[in-house]
Structure 1
Amino acid sequence: MENHVVKVLKSYYVTYDVKCFVVEKPEGYDFIPGQAANISINLPEWKDQLRAFSFTSLNEDNYLEFMIKIYMDHEGVTNMLGGINVGDELILHDIFGAIHYKGPGIFIAGGSGITPFISIFRDLHKKQLLGGNRLIYSNKTSEDVIMKEELQVMLKSNFVNLLTRENVMGFIGRRIDRNFLIENIADFGQHFYICGSTEFVANITEYLLDLGVTPDSLVIEK
């Protein structure tokens, strides 16, 4: 796929360590909600340093949006992205991704693993097809929750918030473990969408398979 150099149109933080980038959208550039693009920074020493980030915008938007967790504690691409602002340039490389909507089900996200689901939820909400879907979203603290207000508006009572390191009103103070899944999911015969750290995805996948979910019902990034 052809690479595209695009300018940053907007750049701002949505949490203390997650930055939203709105960039130009090349003509004819299409993606499926849930997919990601390999992106690099258009600077000589960084243009070959590719990292994958999920689209959070809608395919029909005339711009592209990404929400990226910035790791300031070590030198790398996201650290550099922390200093990228309006007028700077990124390079869009190939589009890929196994996460896309296959039908109503349970979405289970850990931290910035929510990002591919944002585009899916926005697309379904716009089409009035979000009913029958539920989000279980785990974070360390309330400050880590990405797009909480918008997710609440879209999903209403089907938005379940967990915190692993805080006890805050409106949140469930526990981890997503096997017992939590048994207590909170009545039907293990539906689709399950999982995204988060490698360990998070592996653990949730293991629990679900153990509870009778078929591999074909799991939607994860391979």
Structure 2
Amino acid sequence: MFTQTTNRRGVRSRLVGLLAGPHGVDRYTELVDPMWTSEVRATVVRVRRSTPRSVTLWLAPNHPVPFVAGQYLTVTVEVDGRRHTRCYSPANAQGDQVIELTVARHDGGVVSEYLHRAARVGLTVGLSPAAGDFILPTPLPRRLLLIAGGSGITPVMSILRTLQEHWHGGEIALLYYTRTLADACYREQLAIMPDVTVLHGCTRGPGGDVEGHFDERHLTAAMADPDAVYVCGPTALAEAVRRHYPAAVAESFAPAPLVIPDTPAAGRITFSRSGIDVDNDGQPLLNQAEAAGLAPQSGCRMGICHTCTRRKVHGVVRNVTTGALSTEDDEAVRICVSAPVGDVEIDL
């Protein structure tokens, strides 16, 4: 009888891999079942749409996917025949076998709009190992203030749930900002979470515990003199918190402002592995590669996850978020935030 256990043994066999030819055994076994593969994949086992702009998915992976509360995973989804990769933070406690992801729908977002519209039980997605430094220190702070904006609640929920499971014993407060109360994911779960002070802030309507966008009064209302502050959300929220609490640990899911070059775009880009070269239009290499018909793997598209890292054979590129120049040959660059300056050859 052919079982998943049998398949995993086969996957590990070099002989089977050789007999399977150039595509490898995975390309054949996945035709029978997408989960019969040595790659990490997960099946959606439950779907919930609890707010107008979000969808929560529960994923059962075919291999363990360990993570520390607060980290993110890269998730690969096929949309209209093309694979797209994005970064999402689990909302469940670390150590759980089933992974819980809540995805906020962004207008024009290929993956978020697809999942919000079409996610269903049985959908298969790809997963990559956990990454990120938005994690609590050891020993744990006794007085912890967590601040979340929008979908930034997901890593915060993972931290809260992990602390609840292992009994933190200290004081915990949460400031959670959304457009309206109806947009607040996990509102019911937070309301019954013991030993956590939760304050909601509504930025586009009444009904919150604090009014408007973050300011110092909110910080005082939630917790005076915290030992540690962690904030996850839009860049504006992270920056506002750090102005009042410079030591705050911040994670932002919005790209930094682009640095506009002083001179017009010039030169040509050579995608050496594909045998394609194009005129440089000044956009990041990832955009220009896609415009040329290539489909390089990418993730966050803002220089965070490093999924799109490729080797720059030669030439100069400018980081569009910092303005820094990369001038060395044979240098790894993140093509989502690297714009060519003159002629550039990239191993793609």
Query: Aligning the two structures, in what range does the TM-score lie when normalised by the shorter sequence?
Result: 0.7 to 0.9
* Residue matched to 2:219: 181
- Candidates 203, 211, 215, aligned match of 2:240: 203
Structure with larger RCO (C-alpha < 8 A, sep 6+): 1
* CA deviation after TM superposition for structure 1 residue 43, in Å: 5.3
* Residue matched to 1:17: 53
* CA deviation after TM superposition for structure 1 residue 196, in Å: 0.3
Whether 1:80 aligns to 2:139 is no
Structure exhibiting the larger radius of gyration computed from Cα positions: 2
Structure 2: distance between partners of 1:108 and 1:75:
25
Does the residue aligned with 2:82 lie in a helix, a strand or coil?
Answer: coil
User: Structure 1: any 5+ residue segments left out of the alignment?
Assistant: 210-214
User: Structure 2: any 5+ residue segments left out of the alignment?
Assistant: 1-37, 253-348
* Residue matched to 1:28: 64
Indicate conservation of the 8 Å contact 2:134/2:251, yes or no: yes
* CA deviation after TM superposition for structure 1 residue 184, in Å: 4.9
* CA deviation after TM superposition for structure 1 residue 46, in Å: 3.2
Indicate conservation of the 8 Å contact 1:40/1:90, yes or no: yes
Q: Which aligned pairs between 1:81-100 and structure 2 lie closer than 5 A?
A: 81-82=115-116, 83-100=118-135
Structure 2: distance between partners of 1:80 and 1:186:
42
Indicate conservation of the 8 Å contact 1:106/1:193, yes or no: yes
- Candidates 230, 236, 250, aligned match of 1:220: 250
Does the residue aligned with 1:133 lie in a helix, a strand or coil?
Answer: strand
Residues matched between the structures, number? 210
* Residue matched to 1:162: 201
Task: Tell me: CA distance 1:9–1:183, structure 2 relative to 1, closer, same or farther (3 Å).
Answer: closer
Structure 2: distance between partners of 1:206 and 1:161:
21
- The aligned amino acid for 1:165 is R
* Residue matched to 1:106: 145
TM-score by length of 2: 0.56
Q: Deviations over 1:141-168 (max 9, x none)?
A: 1111111121121155611111122222
* Residue matched to 1:212: none
Instruction: Give the percent of matched residue pairs that are identical in Structure 1 and Structure 2.
Output: 24
Task: Tell me: CA distance 1:43–1:18, structure 2 relative to 1, closer, same or farther (3 Å).
Answer: closer
TM-score by length of 1: 0.85
Indicate conservation of the 8 Å contact 1:42/1:91, yes or no: no
RMSD between aligned residues: 2.2
* CA deviation after TM superposition for structure 1 residue 79, in Å: 1.1
Indicate conservation of the 8 Å contact 1:3/1:94, yes or no: no
Q: Deviations over 1:161-183 (max 9, x none)?
A: 11122222x63223211343356
Q: Deviations over 1:121-151 (max 9, x none)?
A: 1111122216411111112211111111211
